[in-house]
A = this chain, B = another copy of it.
Amino acid sequence: MPYQALSDRGVTHPDVRRANLGLVLRHLRDHGPRSRASLAADLRMTRSTVSTLVSELIERCLLTDGPLVQSAVGRPGTAVELDGHAVCGIGAEINVNHVSTMALDLRGRVVGDRKLALDARSMDSTIVLGHLADLVRETVDRLDEEGVQTVGLTVGVAGLYDRTRDVLTHGPNLGWYDVPVGAILRQELGGSFPIVVDNEGNLAAAAEVIPGDAGRQDMLVLHGEIGVGGGIVSGGRLLRGSHGFAGEFGHMIVEPGGRQCACGRQGCWETVSGLRALLELAADPDDPIRNPTMALDDRLAEINRRAGLGDARTLQALEDVATWVGTGAAILVNALNPATIVLTGYYAAVGHHMRTAIEQALRAGVLAPDAGGTQVELSVLGFSAAVRGGATAALESVFADPTRVPRRSASAPV
């Protein structure tokens, strides 16, 4: 009989410890550094309990004592804060024209950032994954020399990733079908840290969660490039669906009998809200912004420039596309009632010219008054959202169970 994950198992005393260690760690992440005494007040624990928890977290190099904090009267407390110097999580991304990695420390700071340009379509998948493994190995080894332990790797791929079978079933952009990405990478990199593979859009969505921000716990994240995708966050957690295929918004049919889509269907949302629709509306075929060899950032900058100058055609194109974005988003808002819609990808770049029309279409298409209170925001993460989300997901395991990081010698006094 194969290993079967039991639905649940009994809670033991070490579980209590784990839960409380995680609670302290997450509280410091979500609400910033503070003294042991205020931690105790916030978390309704006794000061003695917090003291032992904090000292254990310090032994595990996850916290450090910080500056003294004085509050009105009494003995000042010593603030404790997250220690970024012991562990990191790594996020990676496999795209058509590059593979890249990003390492984040416990505080969410970038401590490693690699990118390798390649043409994935012309190469075998194992070769591409080998290159990615090299990038990861270099990052891990370098950080290891600095005493930083890698706690996990989360890889984002463009396509349908079946999490139940751990296989990329459909990666049309990469030309990959039924590739067991996770298994191949685990073989390449060994088992010193867990390796998880997920859909790129889902990871980018996860990156938009801001711990402690109520408006960022129920989100619809819309990612626009040539294709349109994204993710759904509910109660701070990513909604993946039964196989992990959730978030394929681009192929919702919003206009039956509408424009032909690359997927073979007609009227998919991305045919009217994707980057191609915007470019075709905004410019003639010989216009430089429709030159595919030009860098995307530059083309978007040019669109912004023209819109800023009041160019009628550009503004109209942005408005038309924005109306479709809002119309499609309204469908999802009726179903999901998110607190926030976060626009990423090219939407984030030119979104300030689209926002009004999006919000208008949203109010028109959502049953609940005022679009059910849903706010539209532009992402500030840029195109690194997916790798950042991957690294964050890897770090999440430490916040969930700090005992995954081994105890080291207590802080050596100098």
Contact = CB atoms under 8 A, between A and B. Distances in A.
Interface of A: 6-13, 15-16, 19-20, 23, 26-27, 30, 42-45, 49, 160, 169-170, 212, 217-218, 232, 234, 239-256, 263, 265, 327, 330-332, 334-339, 364-369, 372-374
A30 B245 CA distance: 27
Given A234-B239, A373-B242, A248 B335 contact: yes
B43 A23 contact: no
A42, A43, A245, A332 — which one has the most chain B CB atoms within 10 A of its CB? A245
Given A243-B337, A372-B241, A327 B253 contact: yes
B239 A334 contact: no
A35 to B, nearest CB: 16
Contacts of A242: 217-218, 337-339, 372-374
Nearest to A251: B367
A335 B332 CA distance: 8
Contact of A169 (B212, B265, B327, B369): B369
Contacts of A366: 251
Contacts of A232: 335-336
Contacts of A330: 252-253
Contacts of A256: 254-255, 327
B9 A265 contact: no
Contacts of A336: 232, 239, 241, 246, 335
15 contacts: A160-B368, A170-B368, A218-B242, A232-B335, A232-B336, A234-B234, A240-B337, A242-B339, A246-B335, A248-B334, A252-B330, A252-B331, A265-B365, A335-B335, A335-B336
A197 B295 CA distance: 53
Contacts of A243: 337, 368, 372-373
Nearest to A365: B253
Nearest to A332: B335
Given A239-B234, A243-B372, A252 B11 contact: no
Contacts of A331: 252-254, 331
A126 to B, nearest CB: 23
Q: What 5 A-B pairs have minimum CB-CB distances, sorted nearest first?
A: A241-B337, A10-B45, A242-B339, A245-B337, A9-B44
Contacts of A335: 232, 246-249, 252, 332, 335-336
Contacts of A250: 367
A135 to B, nearest CB: 29
Nearest to A367: B251
A245 B15 contact: no
A11, A42, A335, A373 — which one has the most chain B CB atoms within 10 A of its CB? A335
Nearest to A246: B337
A247, A256, A263, A336 — which one has the most chain B CB atoms within 10 A of its CB? A336
A55 B241 CA distance: 39
B10 A43 contact: yes
Contacts of A254: 253-254, 256, 331
Given A246-B336, A331-B253, A334-B251, A367 B8 contact: no
Given A16-B13, A335-B335, A263 B6 contact: no
A239 B241 contact: no
Nearest to A9: B44
A12, A23, A251, A369 — which one has the most chain B CB atoms within 10 A of its CB? A251
A307 B170 CA distance: 39
Contacts of A263: 367
A43 B367 contact: no
A160 B48 CA distance: 47
Given A8-B26, A217-B242, 15 more contacts: A8-B43, A10-B20, A11-B20, A232-B335, A232-B336, A234-B239, A240-B337, A242-B337, A243-B337, A244-B337, A245-B337, A246-B335, A248-B368, A249-B334, A252-B331
